[in-house]
Each structure stands twice: as structure tokens, then as C-alpha cells.
Amino acid sequence: MAILIVDDSTDQFALLRSLLTKAGHNPILGAESAKAAFSILNLDGTQASTDIDLILMDVLMPEIDGVQACRTIRQQAHLRDIPIIMVTAKNDLDNLHEAFSAGAMDYINKPVKSIELLARVASALTLKKEIDCRKLREMELRRSNDELQQALREVKVLRGLIPICASCKKIRNDGGFWQQLEEYIGEHSEAEFSHGLCQPCLKKLYPGVYQD
């Protein structure tokens, strides 16, 4: 699962990438600013240019800080489900409430500890997997429902007053012509016919053959 690290410090990026790579996480992408991250995420598109499953966002960055970047990402429908973990120095704790309000799901203190980093990353990626599975199930349910609705629209149903001859049992169609009963029903429903003879007809047609 792909992880995007957004940090203007090359040393901090190298540390995070090293810890994550050693733990088996791959691929690891990097952005030195919020604007660079927006480009990777295809901010103005309908889907991320690269499938990102988690973002590690530094809080203190020039031009656009991590909190504002998080808020901007959360405003994009196609990026809304990507977990964002803020990476912050201890003296930045006052900004955490604002970060959570902007859409961050968790935070990691600097200096980063390997155990804490890997635990929080694992938790976030598990959440992302669950979100992806839920969205897939919802998509399959929508597709199944659409197929069902389409099938129901295609079902032919007989309803209303049907003019039928009291003698020969032919039915007058919309064009004013008389049709055999099975022909009419076949055109107006999905029913199929299997012809045979009932007992009364057997007696009438073959009186010498049929035995009670």
C-alpha cells in the first residue's frame, strides 16, 4: 500500500522512509511541500494520479502548513477516504485540535519513535483497507441493484381489461386482430407453453380410447 510523506525536511523524510521501508512498506513517495503533494494527489482531478493509501503530513511547512494542506485534501471527494497522520514537534500540540478538525485521523510526535510510527501506520492502513472493502461492497450492491431494476423494467406484465372471445377464447389485440390465447400471452409476458390434453378433452376427443 502506497504511503506519501509530505515534509520539507530531507532528513526527516529520509528517516521516515527508512523506518517504513525496513518494516516492509512499499512504495514510499515523497513531497517537499503541500503544493508538491497536491500535484501527486491530482488535487483537481477525479482520482489520485497515484493510488495513495496513507499520508504522513508534517505540520510546520512554509507557504501552506500541514493543517491547511489536510483541510484542502479533505475537500476533494476522491481523496476524502485517505487517512492523514500529522507529524508534529512537541511544541506544536496546540495545533492538534485544529488538525483533527481539518480531517487528520492521528498524529506522531517528533522525534519520531519507530515503534510508535509503525503502530500508527499499521492502524491507519488497516482502516484504509476496511474503507476500500466497504466501498467495493457498496459498488457491487449498487451494480446488483441496477441490474435488478433493469430486469424488473424489462419484465412484461399483463394487466387491465383483456377482450376475449367467449366461444373460441381468442383475444383481440391492440390492433383489433384476434389472436390465439397462447400467442397473445407469449407476446405480452415471458411465459412459455407446453401443450397437452386435459382429461375432459381426452374423453371428448377420444371417447373409445380414454378409460375412467
158's CB contacts (< 8 A; 6+ apart) are 185, 188, 189
Buried b (16+ CB within 10 A) or exposed e, 138-150: eeeeeeeeeeeee
- Between CA 103 and CA 36 the distance in angstroms is 19
Q: The whole model's pTM is what?
A: 0.67
* pLDDT tens, the chain, 212 aa long: 899 999 999 999 999 999 999 999 999 999 999 999 999 998 866 555 568 999 999 998 989 999 999 999 999 988 989 999 999 886 666 777 888 999 999 999 889 999 999 999 999 999 999 998 998 999 988 888 888 887 766 555 566 778 888 888 888 888 888 988 888 887 777 777 777 878 878 777 777 766 66
**Domains by residue range for the chain, with CATH:** 3-144 (3.40.50.2300), 156-212 (no CATH)
